[in-house]
Amino acid sequence: MRLTVYTDYSLRVLMYVALHPQRRPTIGEIASTYGISKNHVMKVVHQLGVAGYVETLRGQSGGMRLARSPETIILGEVVRRTEPDLALMPCFGDANGACVLTPACKLRRALQEALAAFLAVLDQYSLADLVDNPQVLQGLLTQQPPVAVVS
């Protein structure tokens, strides 16, 4: 299973904001730090706001902050919300992707169980768990500027 870049960026944005509770990081700052497109970060931040994970403030003293405490932002919840399709195979979806083996297929059930186990593990971790070593993470974020990405 491979998560989308969108989910990757969503988790990285949440981590960055959680690491800076004393101020309001900006979209430009986050994009520059991670070396990703400002437009991509803008889309991610918008959806994180819609989902209730971050609050954004416009203007000179604008930026973003977490809308909830890091302990209440559960990784499995974020992944479920940011992944467009967790169906591991076409037969997980509608009948159009069904295969002739579907009525007797045990692969489908095994993969459904594997996906459930994957999400169950993520449900055991919160954003707070990801940033419980802030000095180390902040040091890594300020070490070397990544190569700029053209927007």
Q: Which residues contact 135 (CB under 8 A, 6 or more apart)?
A: none
Whole-model pTM?
A: 0.84
Contact present, 41 and 13 (Cβ < 8 Å)? yes
Q: Which domains does the chain possess?
A: 5-84+127-143 (1.10.10.10)
Of 68, 83, 80, 79, nearest to 128 (Cα)?
A: 68
Q: How many Å apart are CA 20 and CA 37, to the nearest integer?
A: 21
Q: Is 29 left (phi over 0), alpha (psi -120 to 50) or beta?
A: alpha
Per-residue pLDDT tens listing for the chain (151 residues):
788 999 999 999 999 999 999 999 999 999 999 999 999 999 999 999 999 999 998 888 889 999 999 999 999 999 999 998 887 777 766 555 567 877 788 888 888 899 999 999 999 999 999 999 888 888 888 876 555 555 4
Q: HSE, CB side, 13 Å, CA atoms: give it for residue 105.
A: 15
- 93 CB neighbour count, 10 Å cutoff: 11
40-49's contacts with Cβ under 8 Å and 24+ in sequence apart are 40/5, 40/9, 41/9, 41/13, 44/6, 44/9, 44/10, 44/13, 45/13, 47/10, 47/82, 48/10, 48/13, 48/14
